[in-house]
Amino acid sequence: MTLSPEVERRARRVALENAIAHEGSAQAGPVVSRLLATDPTLRPLAGELRDLVSNVVAEIRSLPVAELEDRLTALGGPEPERPRAARSDEAVFPELSGAVPGGVVLRMAPFPSGALHIGSGRMLFVNEYYRQRYRGKLILVFDDTVGTEKKRVETEFFDLILGDLELAGIRPDAVYYKSDRIANHYPWARRVIEKGAAYVCHCPPDQLRENRAHGVACPERSQSITETLEAWDGMLGNRYGPGEAVLRLRTDLQDPDPAFRDRVLFRISDLDHPRVGHRYRVWPLLEFSWAVDDIELGVTHIVRGKDLVIEDRMQQYIWDLLGIRGPPFLHWGILRVREAKVSKSKSYAEVKGGLYDGWADPRTWSLRSLDRRGISMDAVREFTLSFGLSLADIEVPAETLYAENRQRIDATTFRRSFVYDPVRVEVDGFPMDLTEVTLPNHPDRPELGTRRVPAGPHFYLAHRDLVPRAGAEVRLKDLANVRLPESIPPPGGTLRAEFTSRANQKLARLQWVGASAAFPVDVLEVDGRHGSGMGEASLADAHPADTYQFERVGFVRVERDWAPGTAPLRVVYGHP
């Protein structure tokens, strides 16, 4: 998909307005946020939109204000204020079939193998949305069946997930553990067997899969009910070892979906479970356990991803077999954030191996990692709900989430100066009355006050800003103009520049930090790398969990465990 000429015109118009409001220094982030907020059809194109806006901002950044005003006039002047697009809940979120206000019971069912992440958002916020809409209940059921050698249940993840729910502002009405309910499933298995609908299979796992793929019956499929009950009692009585017997459901061996052919209901495992140890050896597979628990726990509606349709079929098959009317299903499609390569198993390995900085490492894209970056759960909630319950799989750029967060924090976030990989710049002839200047804490919010900032004649400038401008005259943003030498040293080096004038000319504007009282900063990037630079003196007075916008860099959040006043200031990069 490509952006229409009308969108390109709007982007240029809004960018020019932003540049005029900030004395020529347009900021791409607020422009993108405004466009997305007033036209939700642009959400899937947020990445392309940001590229367009960034190009426009780069084009107009060094123009004098008079020329910016002329260009905006040519486009029709400032754009009339557009209201933020509202979400039509009824249109985006369908009614729950047969739902009675006050009588709805929904459930969340995470497997405790890691922290909840951005991909868990729909499970959390969609179910919570329906709970509030119908004044119902939302229960949390840990799907802690015994797992496998590669996918183990671990005690720490129970508290981890409960903490994630608290962070997201969701309080379940009740909490259950599947491992506490294993014995409840055995009578149901016997009822299925007594219907002649299940048998105990002794095929090795590889043979079982092969037979299923080709629609071939295993020898035990012809068992009588009596024979199956005897073998089932043998499974419960420790007659068989792991892999020697499974209870399978009799379905059509020619079913178009091979996965639905005689699916396994129970298996044997000797793995130690962190909550119940070796109390049970015969464990239900998840779909059978849900056929039981959704009835016994009183769930009235099941809202979950469409990737679980095989579980839907299994549950419905068992309910129909036993003459039970189960709750209806409602599904959503997969929602992916393009930059978020979410994998709980990979994150587990990297966290346990020490490569990741715990479950709040930005590379996990966990909810706690987003919080660490200063991305609010309100933004994550609105981002998630904005896509409704469409069955279509959706992939959107992270900018869509960032724009949602930016709208929440931009107006109250203090600006601060910071430069990556600094080069020390000593300016000859610099006016002595500019050794300290007063700058606003926010360019658009005078009520947020000002701060005194040490300035020249010695500065830190970003190496990446200097290299393409060697020998050129540039403007130190909001301060003065200087001419750079032809040779630029590497980061950590020193160069001499020459003061040229104070006039606000059509020059490239560079971010600067006064060197006389600069404070070192360590930045944890989204990809896990650490960047370093120098920030303005006031950053020494930051507090843990403070959020700032580093001008021309992006929003950052101070680490919660940073000791105030100690160098370097440790922050985590949030987004542009």
- In the structure, what pLDDT confidence band is assigned to residue 345 with cuts at 50, 70 and 90? confident
Tokens of 444: 């658009």
pLDDT above 60 for 88:
no
Q: pLDDT tens across 225-273, in order?
A: 999 999 999 999 999 999 999 999 999 999 999 989 999 999 999 999 9
Element (DSSP H or E) covering residue 460: strand 458-462
In this prediction, residues 437-466 reach a mean pLDDT of 95
- In the structure, what pLDDT confidence band is assigned to residue 89 with cuts at 50, 70 and 90? low
- In the structure, what pLDDT confidence band is assigned to residue 3 with cuts at 50, 70 and 90? confident
pLDDT above 80 for 63:
no
Nearest alpha-carbon partner for 117 in 373, 403, 360 = 360
In this prediction, residues 350-370 reach a mean pLDDT of 94
Element (DSSP H or E) covering residue 264: strand 264-268
Note the maximum CA span of the chain: 101
pLDDT the model gives residue 508: 87
pLDDT the model gives residue 1: 53
Say whether the peptide bond before residue 446 is cis (omega within 30 degrees of 0). Answer: no
In this prediction, residues 188-199 reach a mean pLDDT of 98
Assess contact for 337 and 308: CB atoms under 8 A: no
pLDDT the model gives residue 120: 93
Residue type (1 letter), 204: P
In this prediction, residues 421-438 reach a mean pLDDT of 96
pLDDT the model gives residue 90: 57
Integer CA distances (angstroms), 4 to 10, 41, 114, 458, in order: 10, 12, 42, 47
Lowest mean pLDDT among 61-70, 114-123, 490-499, 550-559: 61-70
pLDDT the model gives residue 153: 85
pLDDT above 90 for 319:
yes
**What are the b/e assignments for 331-350, b being 16+ CB within 10 Å?**
bbbebebeebebebeebbeb
- In the structure, what pLDDT confidence band is assigned to residue 187 with cuts at 50, 70 and 90? very high
pTM higher than 0.75, yes or no? yes
- In the structure, what pLDDT confidence band is assigned to residue 108 with cuts at 50, 70 and 90? very high
Tokens of 356: 């990741």
- In the structure, what pLDDT confidence band is assigned to residue 278 with cuts at 50, 70 and 90? very high
Q: pLDDT tens across 196-222, in order?
A: 999 999 998 889 889 888 999 999 999
Nearest alpha-carbon partner for 16 in 100, 76, 88 = 76
pLDDT the model gives residue 7: 85
pLDDT above 60 for 91:
no
Q: pLDDT tens across 502-534, in order?
A: 998 888 889 999 999 999 999 999 999 999 999
Assess contact for 249 and 192: CB atoms under 8 A: yes
pLDDT above 70 for 85:
no
Relative to beta strand 302-305, strand 282-284 is unpaired
pLDDT the model gives residue 86: 59
Whole-number Å distance between alpha carbons of 522 and 525: 10
pLDDT the model gives residue 87: 60
- In the structure, what pLDDT confidence band is assigned to residue 73 with cuts at 50, 70 and 90? confident
pLDDT the model gives residue 27: 78
Assess contact for 206 and 167: CB atoms under 8 A: no
Q: Which residue has the higher pLDDT, 18 or 408?
A: 408
Q: pLDDT tens across 160-184, in order?
A: 999 999 999 999 999 999 999 999 9
pLDDT the model gives residue 25: 72
Lowest mean pLDDT among 81-95, 103-117, 294-308, 490-504: 81-95
Average pLDDT for the chain: 92
pLDDT the model gives residue 419: 98
